[in-house]
Every structure is written in C-alpha cells, then in structure tokens.
C-alpha cells in the first residue's frame, strides 16, 4: 500500500514532469504532437505553478501557529513576489494601493478568471488529504487574493479533486467531487460537464479539443474556463496512463505547462509508481525557483519540500470567518473628458485629424479597466477620452492602452500608437504590439488622449489603460490620476 508521503511526493513529481513538458510551449495555439520532453531538460524548469506553493509552505512553516489566511498570503505577495504577470500584477498593484483580499482579486482585474490560482491548488490537497471540503476552503483563502469568480472556483475544483485522489482512484468520481464544491451554474462547472459528455461520445482528443474551443474558447491563453476542460479531457481519455495523459494536456496548447502539470499532479497522487523514469530522470529532484521569488530560504529538494508538507499538515488551521470592510472604490475611479469626433474612418487619419471636440462631458470609470456600449459611438466616428495623470518622479515607463477595437493614442500632443482592432492581453509583459510604448517621462502632469471605435460587430468596447515600469513590467502605483 502506498503511504501518504509517497503520494505527496508523487504529486510534486507529477506536477514537475508535466510542467517541464509543457513549459516550452506555453501560450502556443496548438494542437501539438509531443510524445515526451522536447527539448529534454537537464534539470527541473522553474515554474510559478510550484514556486508560489513553495512560498506558501515556507511562510506557513515559519509561523508559530500556521493559519491558512488570505491576509498572510497578501503580505507574502508584497514581500516575496516580483512576478508582474496578468492577475499577479493586478493583485500586487491592488494590495499596494491598500485594497485587501478578497477585493484585491476582483477589483479592476481583467484577468480574474485566469489560471494562476488553480495551478497552485496541490498544496491544499496535500494539507487536507481525503478532505475535499477543507482543501477547497484552503484554496479559497489563497485564490481570493488575485482572482474572483471562475478563477477561484477552478482552484477549489482542483484542490477538492486532488484531495479526494488520496483515497479515490476513479477519475469520474474525482470530477464529481470537484464539481460538488463549486456553483453548479457557473461557467466552469458547465464547461466541465460538457467535456465529460464529449469524452463519453468520442475518444479522439482532437475532436474533444475542438468542441472545447468552439464552446469555451478564449483569446486569453490562461483562461480557466478554456484550460481546465483540457485537464479534464486528458484525465478521462488518458485512462490512467501518465505519459498519454500529460501529453494530451500539453498537446492542447494554450496554457500547456499548467494543464500538463495539473493532470500530472493528480495522477502522481493516485499512483506515484506510474510515473516512468523517462519523465523522472531528466528533471531530478532539485528544487529550483524563479528569481522572481525573493528573500526566501526554501528546501533544496523535492524530498525536503515533501517532508515540510507532511509535518505542516499536522500544525495548520483555517482562518476563522471574518470579513474585511468594503473599500471605498470611488478613490480609485478614473475620470475623463469624453466626446465624439466625426467624421473619422480608419483608412485615413490625415484627412480628418482626430481631436477632442469642443463639447465634452466628464465620464467616470471604475478603474483602469473600462467599457462602453458600442452603439454609443456613431458610424464613422471616434469616441475621444482625455485622461490626465501626475507622475511623482521621472521614470522609464510603459504606457499601455489595450482594446480589441480601433484605437489611436496620443500623449501630451504626440502620437504614440494605434491599430485597427485585435486581441486583448492587457498585461505589461505581453501586451500586443501597437498597444504600448516605452518612454522616459518627466515628473509632473501628463495628458493621454485616446480615440476608440468598434471593430467589426463588437457590441461592447472594452479597454485597459495603465502605466507600468518599463523594466519590471509592474504597475506603477506612484501615479496620481485626475479623479
């Protein structure tokens, strides 16, 4: 009989193997045709999937009375994490502005349904084995710092599944356990049930993948409602074969390292002996973290990390129910002078040079993430918005204005960038071309003028406007907007 420690070790080895398989292909569209590591690694590849779980374990282990508490994790984000990516960057910005969890995960967060919390669910299963409800409660405390909605549900779903996997081998039963801890009518639950049905109808993973993309696809490659069904499909069609399962997950593309890592972790818990040496030998057991985790002394190997988790399980408790006061979000609202410039059409700016019209109104937006109904913008017109902001000190910044619609952007009267529609990825590290510009800005007040118009048949026009550090790609919080 496999003991608890072996299953915990299997979890981390399965996760490391799957993550290392998929990591070179993170963000690709797919499908791929991987049958093993390509390239073959010489060590485990660092991955935030595991980095943050190691951080949580070390923080909890250092506490006299370890408590799984959103406020503990929020403090750790600010002290130890330099990752600027997607929802991580937004949460760090919100926490720096004084917005506590769970509001830090929801406010002004275009990426709140990202995969960032789901990929760090395993620790909660290992600290609450065969107790899915407790594992899901632990996962909530972690996930609510940087996610909301389906982004939290995905973490709870996986934590419950992984917890149940310590005593249950049947994938179908594990999926029902996962579904039992999230709202039945949420998008994630519907996507999972669809995937279960499609896998019952077809054993061809390419066919099922196509169904997932047609019904639940997203332009954001980290979206949970698209990616978690890839994990579900891999587990169902892989039928317990580790190699087949992690390769199906990775070959779906999109967030390939995360999906393969999650699938590998679950099979690693169920049967640690099922992970072949072709997966284990290349990565070894050395624990290597990203340099974006700072100021942390961590275990040197997965074996030492496993021992830490096994010992910690007996010491931890769950945060007692308490609610943070709702912040005054009006403090963070952005105001702009808005009006319609007409006539305008994308083919020729020189004939009708866009400018703010004489008649404007002051519009209030809840934050940097804003939207308006497309029918508010007349045909052959630009909706103009003038924002002002104050930079407290001279800085090398990245100005970002990302929208799927037509846009033109000027700063202090000089044209910066623009495009005729495209994808959204409003994070400073991966914002699309022609949606940002790096520049040296002097301290003082600056004026950003933006013109937007629908592209194609868009019914709602959304955008994210931000000012970040050009080097670190973190949101700047020393910027005072006119509000």
* Residue 206 confidence (pLDDT): 99
Integer Rg of the chain from CA: 23
Could you tell me the pLDDT band of residue 346, with boundaries at 50, 70 and 90?
A: low
DSSP string, 138-197: HHHHHHTTT--THHHHHHHHHHHHHHHTTT---HHHHHHHHHHTS-TTSHHHHHHHHHHH
Q: What is the mean pLDDT of the chain?
A: 95
Instruction: Find the range with the poorest average confidence among 18-22, 219-223, 437-441, 475-479.
Output: 475-479
44 pLDDT band (50/70/90 cuts)? Answer: confident
Do 115 and 224 form a contact (C-beta atoms < 8 A)?
Answer: yes
State the Cα–Cα distance between residues 474 and 479, nearest whole angstrom.
Answer: 13
Mean pLDDT of 4-21: 97
Comparing 175 with 378, the larger pLDDT belongs to: 175
The pLDDT score that the predictor gives to residue 322 is 75
* Model confidence pLDDT, tens digit, residues 422-446: 999 999 999 999 999 999 999 999 9
Cβ contact 110:41 at 8 Å: no
Q: What is the pLDDT of residue 479?
A: 72
pLDDT of residue 347: 63
Nearest Cα to 387, choosing from 460, 483, 475? 483
Find the mean pLDDT for residues 35-52.
91
Query: At a CB cut-off of 8 Å and minimum separation 6, what does 460 contact?
Result: 371, 372, 373, 374
Q: What was the pLDDT predicted at 24?
A: 96
Task: Identify the band that residue 46 occupies on the pLDDT scale cut at 50, 70 and 90.
Answer: confident
Give me the pLDDT at residue 184, please.
Answer: 97
186-199 tens-digit pLDDT: 999 999 999 999 99
Give yes or no for residue 483 having a pLDDT over 60: no
Residue 137 pLDDT more than 60?
yes
pLDDT at 204 over 90: yes
Q: What is the mean pLDDT of residues 268-292?
A: 96
Please tell me the predicted confidence (pLDDT) of residue 1: 66
Region of 98 on the Ramachandran plot (φ > 0 left; ψ -120 to 50 alpha; else beta) = left
Share of the chain above pLDDT 70, in %: 98
102: enclosing H helix or E strand: none
Find the helix or strand (DSSP H, E) in which 339 lies. Answer: strand 334-341
pLDDT in tens, 17-29: 999 999 999 999 9
Domains and CATH numbers, the chain: 4-318 (1.10.4080.10), 333-481 (2.60.120.260)
Would you state the pLDDT for residue 98?
Answer: 95
8 A C-beta contact, residue 63 and residue 33: no
């Amino acid at each position: 009989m496999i003991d608890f420690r072996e299953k915990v070790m299997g979890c981390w080895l399965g996760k490391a193997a799957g993550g290392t398989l998929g990591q070179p292909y993170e963000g690709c569209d797919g499908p791929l045709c991987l049958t093993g590591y390509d390239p073959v690694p010489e060590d485990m590849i660092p991955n935030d999937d595991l980095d943050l779980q190691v951080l949580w374990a070390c923080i909890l282990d250092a506490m006299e009375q370890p408590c799984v508490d959103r406020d503990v994790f929020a403090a750790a984000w600010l002290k130890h994490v330099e990752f600027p990516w997607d929802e991580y960057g937004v949460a760090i910005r919100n926490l720096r502005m004084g917005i506590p969890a769970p509001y830090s995960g929801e406010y002004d967060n275009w990426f709140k349904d990202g995969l960032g919390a789901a990929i760090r669910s395993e620790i909660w299963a290992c600290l609450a084995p065969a107790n899915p409800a407790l594992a899901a409660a632990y996962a909530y405390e972690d996930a609510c710092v940087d996610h909301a909605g389906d982004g939290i549900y995905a973490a709870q779903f996986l934590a419950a599944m992984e917890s149940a996997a310590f005593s249950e081998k049947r994938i179908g039963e594990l999926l029902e356990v996962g579904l039992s801890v999230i709202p039945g009518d949420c998008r994630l639950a519907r996507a999972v049930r669809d995937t279960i049905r499609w896998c019952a109808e077809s054993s061809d993973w390419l066919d099922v993948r196509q169904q997932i993309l047609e019904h639940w696809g997203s332009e954001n490659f980290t979206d949970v409602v698209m990616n978690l069904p890839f994990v579900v499909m891999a587990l169902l069609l892989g039928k317990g074969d580790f190699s087949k399962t992690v390769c199906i997950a990775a070959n779906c593309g999109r967030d390939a390292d995360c999906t393969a890592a999650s699938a590998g972790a679950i099979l690693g818990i169920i049967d640690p002996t099922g992970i072949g040496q072709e997966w284990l030998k290349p990565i070894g057991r050395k624990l290597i973290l990203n340099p974006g985790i700072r100021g942390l002394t961590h275990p040197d190997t997965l074996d030492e990390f496993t021992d830490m988790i096994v010992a910690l399980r007996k010491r931890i408790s769950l945060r007692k129910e308490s609610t943070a006061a709702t912040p005054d979000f009006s403090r963070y609202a952005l105001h702009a002078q808005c009006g319609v410039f007409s006539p305008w059409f994308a083919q020729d700016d020189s004939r009708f040079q866009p400018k703010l019209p004489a008649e404007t109104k002051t519009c209030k937006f809840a934050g940097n993430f804003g939207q308006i109904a497309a029918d508010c913008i007349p045909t052959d017109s630009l909706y103009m918005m003038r924002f002002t902001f104050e930079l407290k000190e001279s800085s090398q910044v990245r100005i970002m204005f990302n929208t799927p619609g037509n846009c033109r952007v000027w700063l202090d009267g000089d044209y910066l960038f623009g495009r005729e529609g495209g994808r959204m990825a409003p994070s400073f590290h991966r914002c699309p071309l022609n949606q940002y510009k790096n520049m040296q800005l002097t301290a003082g007040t600056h004026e950003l003028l933006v013109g937007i118009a629908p592209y194609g048949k868009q019914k709602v026009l959304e955008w994210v406007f931000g000012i970040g550090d050009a080097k670190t790609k973190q949101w700047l919080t020393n910027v005072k907007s006119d509000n």
